């Protein structure tokens, strides 16, 4: 189907509490109803400029953002002014910082003169506490223990420590303090001695061992990378991608190297395809499992190579797995909002799974933003089912199919690295305030979407030490060939987000924290996570820059249901893709029954048992515990098959 056809299909009327307002035909008791043809609706996003003066303002703001790498120069200036004025009017703080500079300088000098034995820690050791200081891989080489490299390293570490204290001045807003600290760290990371050809002992040693060939090889790579990036860097804002940078093949081909678990596409609408994976066991658990990935990423992060595919693992454990594959949007989809993704996406997928597997109860698993979507849908469904059981169902409207006879009962909900409270969003909070969102809206208004390249750059910025500087050191200074991996290939397969949906997501969830504070609405319905009454398995990761584990843990405050919390080693992606046999993995796991009350995260961390190895077997056992038995695998009707997995939507890529 062409992009124009998709855009026309998606510019449909919104109304009621059905799948984004899509009216359906069918009997009241039917488990899956067919959408009818709808009149077109405008794709004008909420808050779009309607006056020429607003258009002029938007143009100016977007030009300013282009000069500051997409960030709001106003937000940056306000944060700097907040810090500078409070520091300027705090002579006591200035004296204290001067004293700390002297102390840290003396410590650095003393440390550089007395080399210590090099004893690097192992970041993912099973006995490693979850919140110890992060291991700095930049200074792992033994050469950093010798003069003059040790002096440069100790001086740099002293500067880092001083700036951590200098960024926090009493009286500053928490957001501005976070911004100053974040950008100070970004600047220091760029100035690290590990980034210099002559100040990095590993780079110097590699050059001596190779007769300078490592530097020559790295310089050639740098020149080639700059040559490939030059057309994009020089292109005016909003220009079409240059042919030379259009689309390079992925190192791991989708459907050949990754996303190869056998399955069939059994449903397709304007938002997603639904894949049903083929069984590999004689019997399966009675409740199928619907996986809701994040629309910020391609779904196959959960179906990488066969050795580390969560989907393949769960199928092998006897689960009938269904996977949503979100469509990669184009400019015609700019009017798609959160309500569309919730109702025409997640809830419609649930209805299809119930019909396809002939199962009145299902398990549901959501990852990242998909987990946030799933938590909202679960709360809405639990409320509707409770009101219906009490004899006072919610008011019916035309096209409203949020009913227990249309949607399945959720036997359990699993949330992977998914936030529901956004008051402490971690490093992403640096980019979320009114000025930043205003700048972002002006940028997206030109295109109708947030490009995958912009999103990837944001995530690189969040962890620039590992994703930018450490990588550049190996590539350009050491001349080491990169060993490709399926996850790196997946990371390069970027996706877009529709303008309206991204605006609503950032404004309502991040900026207003509406879901946690109880004033989030889907259509005309209020959403309260307290309505969730099914068992929860909530998984967080120790070093998550996107969904900090303490923020994920706050779901204990927002719900009062049977909850099992898992804290696993690794980051946002690597901690989730933690297959059995992965070296150095470990996790903590503890159960909180309904009505037990609040346990603060530090107490949980101290008390939860530590287990070596992958957490996947624990998840499979937990799902089995909340299943009702075994049965023969549900057959896939030939008339329902639209194609083989991985489907067509996952193949859509854009050069921007």
DSSP string over 11-23:
SB---TTSSSS--
DSSP state for residue 408 in the 8-state scheme: -
Structure-block tokens of residue 140:
């792992």
| Cis bond before residue 408 (omega within 30° of 0) | no
CA atoms within 13 A on the CB side of 204: 14
Contact 275, 646 (CB under 8 A): yes
DSSP state for residue 648 in the 8-state scheme: S
The residues near 468 (Cβ < 8 Å, ≥ 6 apart) are 460
Q: Residue 630: helix, strand or coil by DSSP?
A: strand
Q: How far apart are CA 458 and CA 69, in angstroms?
A: 10
Structure-block tokens of residue 445:
């208004």
The residues near 187 (Cβ < 8 Å, ≥ 6 apart) are none
What is the chain's length? 656
Place of tokens 């405008």: 42
Structure-block tokens of residue 63:
């030009």
Q: How far apart are CA 299 and CA 275, in angstroms?
A: 11
- Choosing from 130, 258, 324, 368, the catalytic residue is 368
Sheet holding 361-367, edge to edge: 610-612, 586-592, 563-568, 536-541, 409-416, 361-367, 289-292, 321-326, 272-277, 263-268, 643-644
Phi, psi of 35 (to 5 degrees): -70, 145
Q: How far apart are CA 523 and CA 341, in angstroms?
A: 12
DSSP state for residue 141 in the 8-state scheme: S
Angle between helix 149-166 and helix 174-190 axes, rounded to 10 deg = 170
Q: How far apart are CA 447 and CA 74, in angstroms?
A: 23
Q: How far apart are CA 390 and CA 416, in angstroms?
A: 32
Residue 522 falls in the annotated catalytic set: no
DSSP state for residue 569 in the 8-state scheme: S
Q: How far apart are CA 402 and CA 582, in angstroms?
A: 42
Contact 412, 626 (CB under 8 A): yes
Q: How far apart are CA 338 and CA 543, in angstroms?
A: 28
Contact 363, 534 (CB under 8 A): no
Place of tokens 């990242």: 368
Nearest to 156 by CA among 134, 139, 131, 135: 139
Structure-block tokens of residue 386:
């409770």
Residue 226 to residues 223, 229, 266, 496, 622, Cα–Cα distance (Å): 5, 5, 44, 25, 49
Contact 198, 220 (CB under 8 A): no
The residues near 100 (Cβ < 8 Å, ≥ 6 apart) are 162, 165
Catalytic residues: 368
């Amino acid at each position: 189907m062409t992009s124009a056809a998709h855009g026309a299909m998606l510019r449909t009327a919104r109304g009621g509490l059905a799948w984004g307002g899509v009216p359906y035909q069918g009997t009241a008791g039917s488990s899956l109803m067919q959408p009818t043809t709808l009149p077109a609706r405008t794709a004008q996003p909420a808050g779009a400029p309607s006056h020429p003066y607003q258009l002029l303002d938007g143009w100016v703001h977007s030009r300013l953002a282009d000069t500051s790498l997409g960030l709001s120069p106003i937000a940056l200036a306000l944060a700097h002014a907040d810090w500078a004025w409070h520091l300027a009017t705090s002579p006591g703080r200035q004296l204290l910082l001067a004293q700390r500079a002297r102390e840290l300088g003396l410590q650095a000098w003393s440390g550089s003169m007395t080399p210590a034995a090099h004893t690097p820690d192992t970041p993912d050791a099973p006995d490693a506490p979850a919140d110890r200081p992060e291991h700095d891989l930049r200074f792992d080489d033994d050469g950093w223990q010798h003069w003059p490299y040790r002096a440069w390293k100790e001086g740099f570490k002293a500067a880092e420590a001083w700036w951590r204290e200098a960024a926090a001045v009493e009286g500053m807003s928490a957001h501005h303090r976070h911004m100053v600290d974040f950008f100070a760290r970004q600047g220091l990371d760029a100035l690290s001695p590990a980034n210099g050809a002559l100040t990095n002992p590993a780079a110097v040693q590699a050059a001596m061992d190779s007769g300078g060939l490592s530097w020559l090889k790295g310089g050639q790579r740098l020149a080639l990378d700059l040559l490939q990036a030059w057309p994009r860097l020089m292109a005016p804002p909003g220009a079409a991608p240059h042919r030379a940078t259009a689309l390079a093949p992925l190192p791991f081909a989708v459907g050949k190297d990754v996303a190869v678990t056998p399955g069939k596409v059994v449903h397709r609408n304007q938002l997603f395809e639904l894949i049903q994976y083929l069984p590999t066991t004689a019997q399966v658990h009675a409740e199928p499992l619907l996986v809701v990935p994040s629309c910020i990423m391609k779904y196959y992060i959960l179906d990488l190579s066969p050795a580390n595919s969560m989907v393949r693992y769960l199928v092998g454990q006897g689960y009938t797995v269904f996977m949503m594959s979100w469509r990669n949007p184009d400019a015609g989809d700019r009017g798609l909002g959160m309500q569309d993704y919730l109702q025409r996406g997640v809830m419609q997928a649930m209805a299809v799974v119930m019909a396809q597997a002939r199962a009145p109860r299902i398990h549901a698993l959501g990852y990242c933003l998909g987990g946030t979507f799933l938590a909202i849908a679960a709360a809405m469904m639990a409320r509707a089912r409770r009101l219906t059981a009490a004899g006072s169902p919610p008011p019916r409207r035309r096209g409203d199919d949020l009913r227990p006879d249309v949607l399945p009962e959720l036997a359990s909900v699993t949330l992977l690295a998914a936030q529901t409270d956004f008051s402490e969003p971690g490093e992403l909070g640096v980019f979320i305030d009114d000025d930043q969102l205003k700048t972002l809206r002006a940028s997206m208004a030109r295109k109708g979407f947030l490009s995958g390249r912009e999103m990837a750059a944001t995530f690189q910025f969040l962890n620039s030490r590992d994703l930018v500087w450490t990588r550049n050191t190996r590539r350009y200074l050491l001349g080491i060939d990169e060993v490709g991996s399926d996850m790196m290939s997946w990371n390069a397969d970027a996706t877009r987000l529709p303008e309206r949906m991204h605006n609503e997501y950032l404004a309502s969830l991040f900026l207003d924290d509406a879901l946690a504070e109880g004033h989030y609405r889907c259509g005309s319905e209020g959403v309260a996570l307290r309505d969730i009454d099914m068992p929860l398995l909530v998984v967080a990761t120790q070093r998550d820059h996107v969904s900090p584990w303490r923020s994920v843990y706050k779901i204990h405050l927002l719900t009062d249901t049977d909850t099992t919390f898992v804290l696993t080693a690794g980051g946002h992606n690597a901690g989730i893709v933690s297959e059995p046999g992965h070296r150095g993995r470990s996790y903590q796991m503890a159960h909180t029954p309904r009505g037990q009350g609040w346990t603060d995260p530090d107490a949980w961390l101290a008390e939860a048992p530590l287990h070596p190895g992958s957490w996947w077997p624990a998840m499979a056992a937990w799902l089995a515990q909340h299943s009702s038995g075994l049965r023969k695998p549900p057959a896939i009707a030939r008339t329902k098959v639209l194609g083989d997995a991985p489907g067509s939507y996952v193949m859509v890529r854009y050069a921007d």
